[in-house]
Amino acid sequence: MMTEDQQMLHDAAERYLRDNYDFNSRREVVSSSEFMSEPHWTAMASMGWMAMPFTEEQGGLGFGMQECAVVAEQFGRFLVIEPVFDSVVVAGALLTHEGVNTPDAVIEKMATGEIHIILAHAEADAAPSVTNTRALLQPTESGYRLTGEKVFVAGGGSATHFIITACLGEAFAYALVERDARGLTVEAYKTYDGRSGANICFDIHIQASALMASGEVAINAFSRARARAALIASAEALGAMDAALGATVDYTKQRVQFGQPLASFQALQHRMANMLIEVELCRSLVAAACRAHDNSATDEWALILACKVKTANAARHVTQEAIQLHGGIATTDEYIVGHYFKRVAALDSWIVSRDEALETFIAVVDAA
């Protein structure tokens, strides 16, 4: 059951996206040179979606992951391409963790949508890890020299700032860098799910104040951001697979074969029933994992990992079934169902991959 605040968020998000974010207008933005819709970004900020995870003292609404997941599910349902949660949830977690040196003005601008900050962590040929980075931060007389390269920066096409992870001596650290910083090169591109990505290379000098965190503080903040990314990915995948199921049920009621609707065939009914079971199992798991995170439960990390693995597997299965039950039409760019599969495939490996989550979950259970 949703709380009153969660129901209001759900209704407002569903209403705005249903009325303003139709699939054809989304396709126009995706096929253009733009990486997102500025009018939609401004509207989302005005509705308070950017402010959700920040405290009231920081200019936010003080919501937890349960509320963020409600909106993220609608993002998956309507295939939203604006990197709202990439910025305010993931980057926001890195900038608001206790001990991080973030100016108040930065958080206030994030909460109003004036800037959007994207994490740049992945590197070519680097195994997934909290601290696996070859980028370097070297002290100078006036601050630091930051050198290295990052790849597959999700949402990087439209970012105004990047949080760049690096090694500061033997310590893990990260710095906040403006997109137009001298010595920073951004190669932006469209990703196959309609969003944007970027590869960046940098040899820049930054002020000491640009170093946000290092050592244990940075590791703890990064772990928190990864946990929240897994929850957002799971919630968005839930919305995408639920919408794919709904589209499939509607299609099979309309498509006639052998003189009767496809939905009348029991074998197809059973397949769609199994799809529904997967969706509802994931809905319960997403809610439980978000609640555990917000309440700092002892089994929080295990639930988050289980949630990521289950929703990633289920979303891939449900969207693949949706494509098969539709037939060839679902493989066309003009039809929405194939795009649900593309989005859940991208979410599968976003920040915390399904395979990494499974391996870590096994280790956590074995250690218990």
At 183-241, the pLDDT tens digits run 999 999 999 999 999 999 999 999 999 999 999 999 999 999 999 999 999 999 999 99
Tokens of 216: 């244990």
- The Cα 231–Cα 303 span in angstroms is 10
- The Cα 293–Cα 303 span in angstroms is 9
Q: What is the pTM of this model?
A: 0.95
If one compares 124 and 74, the residue with the highest pLDDT of the two is: 74
Q: How far is CA 15 from CA 43, 47, 233, 243, 275, in A?
A: 13, 12, 22, 15, 25
Q: Domains, the chain, ranges and CATH?
A: 4-85+98-111 (1.10.540.10), 117-217 (2.40.110.10), 222-367 (1.20.140.10)
Can you spell out the DSSP letters for 152-164? Answer: --TTGGG-SEEEE
pLDDT over threshold 80, residue 72: yes
Say which residues have a Cβ less than 8 Å from residue 356's Cβ, sequence separation at least 6.
128
Q: What is the pLDDT of residues 300-313, one digit of tens each?
A: 999 999 999 999 99
Contact (CB, 8 A) for 285 and 310: yes
